[in-house]
Chain A
Amino acid sequence: MKRKQNLLGLLFASPWIIGFLVFTLYPIIASLFFSFTEYHVTLPPKWVGFANYAKLFKDQLFLKGLINTAWYTIGLVPIGLVLAITLALLLVQPLRERYFYRSMIYLPTIVPVYAFATIALWFFSPYYGLVNGLLSFLGINGPMWLNDEKWVKFTIVLISQWGVGGATLIFMAAINDIPKELYEAAMLDGANKWKMFWKITLPLISPATLYYMITATIGALQIFDLPQIMTGGGPANASLSYVMYLYRHAFSYMNMGIASAMAWILFLISLVLVIIIFKTSARWAFYGTSR
């Protein structure tokens, strides 16, 4: 019986395992090897041991990119989570026109990123922008947003929230999976909406939450497009992300060895964070009767 289970499991997972062995394993190992070499892509790699790693930890921009990326992650993951769940809860309410709202909230994620970035720039433009216009209407003197070293990362985090549509759909699907009887029973017990959210909704969507936490963390650590297009890393490198700097090494300076070392440092950081999330999830992720 156990043997049969093992065989079945392997069989069902085989597409991915084969794909992994054929397409993914070699590039991963190769990049690990390159991280210990001086490698300019067109010349054969030269073994240098930990020299790339040692060099990086003395590199100001590397550290700057790392710290910036930490702030991006700290901002992106929780804000996105709260917003996605909130929107999902609103969008499953029995409004006749909810289809329209759903489509519109999802729409920015399919708009090409160039179009998207340009309107974001206009929104947060210090003088003529919509946001500061509204703020000044309320008598508040808005910040310089993307032009202020202290605000630029937060502004990019805010702008990223236009892309929350995908996560919202996932949470919507999860919420719709919750058996309605549970709410009816709770209602009979006199629970209010707030209590039902904490006792029923949140625990039952926790598998989706776990998915979000893992993928959003990995994604945030690799943030690239928006800072690249909107600020190019400025002002004064305040928005330079880790992967932006990695790309520069890989394709501008042709130092694939350094780029690979950077990639593996990021890998280790991701790994630690993901393990922490998985380990703590045992306390809050709930899979019903599943084993």
Chain B
Amino acid sequence: MRKHNILYLNSVRFILIAVTIVYMLPFLWMLSTSLKADQDLYAFPPVLIPIPPVFSNYIQALNYFPFMRYFANSLIISVGTVVGTLISCPLVAYSFSKIKWWGRDFFFYIMIGTIMLPFAVTMIPQFIIFQKLGWLNTFLPLIVPSFFGMPLYIFLIRQFFQTIPDELLDAARVDGASEFKIYLKVMLPLAKPVLFLISLFTFIGSWNNYLGPLIYLTDESKYPLALGLPQFLNRYGTHWNWMMAAATMAIIPSIILFIFTQKYLIEGIKLSGIKG
């Protein structure tokens, strides 16, 4: 039995190593380009491992545009969005999965409907709303909507909430707990993995959002990194090495968040004890 297990695990390992190599390539390529000297950049066949690595590309990238300023802006926008999403989405998802009320399915399907229209055609009317609110050239149009829930994530949380047995909530209801307390004390702790998951998705989505900041911000000092990277794309010869150095630094927060998150992801919702 045990011998079989080792063989089994090793074959899993073998497949995963092969897959991982393929999946690492885009990142490795980015890293290698970020360390190349100008003259190696356009060499053919390509130089795969730059020797010696040119670390000064990172300095160039930091000075090409106000990197730290943009970085801070990105951080404010993304963290704000994550906070908003975490406050609103599980709440709405709870309503759409665990409370039985007349408009539940109606509103739920409308919500799914809203993600079916391409942004290109709703962009201008939406811009006008934010203009009427006086929010142009602030972070508000980028952050505030998340406090009102994001359909994709509400839907995802709903799917996970639905797998949690109702008996669990009913028990608390019988004990006389208020619905909000049940949500806060019973539901949220059980849903930790999916909450981390949407934090990760929201953060990365907001971090890479290009179109939103492009149309709403009109002060370079308010730009996020997503508006910095395109500044390297130059018709008169792009310094890909600087761009990739900037991109490599730009993804660090997402990587840190991922490493932090995945520890919680696999804990799973520990239902075993309760379910019996």
Contacts and interface: CB of A to CB of B under 8 A. Distances in A.
Interface string B143-185: 0010111011011100110111111000000000001000100
Contacts of A13: 91-92, 95-96, 103-104, 107
B121 A31 contact: yes
A8 B27 CA distance: 47
Contacts of A15: 87-88, 91-92, 147-149
B268 A263 contact: no
Given A19-B149, A176-B267, A246 B116 contact: no
A20 B120 contact: no
A156 to B, nearest CB: 15
B118 A20 contact: no
Contacts, number: 275
Contact of A9 (B46, B104, B124, B233): B104
A12 B94 contact: yes
Contacts of A290: 97, 162-166
B115 interface: yes
B163 A287 contact: yes
Contact of B247 (A102, A112, A181): A112
Contact of B125 (A8, A16, A30, A120): A30
B51 interface: no
B75 interface: no
A260 interface: yes
Interface in A7-66: 7-13, 15-20, 22-24, 26-28, 30-31, 34, 41
B251 interface: yes
Interface in A73-119: 87, 90-95, 98-112, 114-116, 118-119
Contact of A211 (B15, B116, B159): B159
**Could you say which of A22, A24, A208, A263 has the most chain B C-beta atoms within 10 Å of its C-beta?**
A24
Interface residues of A, number: 99
A266 B116 CA distance: 8
A181 B268 contact: no
A176 B254 contact: no
B117 A107 contact: no
Contact of A263 (B118, B165, B244): B118
Interface in A202-219: 204, 207-208, 210-211, 214-215, 218
A157 interface: no
Contacts of A210: 159
A180 B149 CA distance: 33
A5 interface: yes
A259 interface: yes
Nearest to A251: B120
B262 A102 contact: yes
A189 interface: no
B204 A16 contact: no
Contacts of A103: 255, 258-259, 262
B236 interface: no
Contacts of A5: 99-101
A283 interface: no
A222 B115 CA distance: 10
Interface of A: 5-13, 15-20, 22-24, 26-28, 30-31, 34, 41, 87, 90-95, 98-112, 114-116, 118-120, 122-123, 128, 162, 165-166, 169-170, 172-174, 176-177, 179-181, 204, 207-208, 210-211, 214-215, 218, 221-222, 243, 246-247, 250-251, 256, 259-260, 263-264, 266-267, 270-271, 274, 287-291
5 contacts: A9-B103, A92-B266, A110-B255, A215-B155, A287-B162
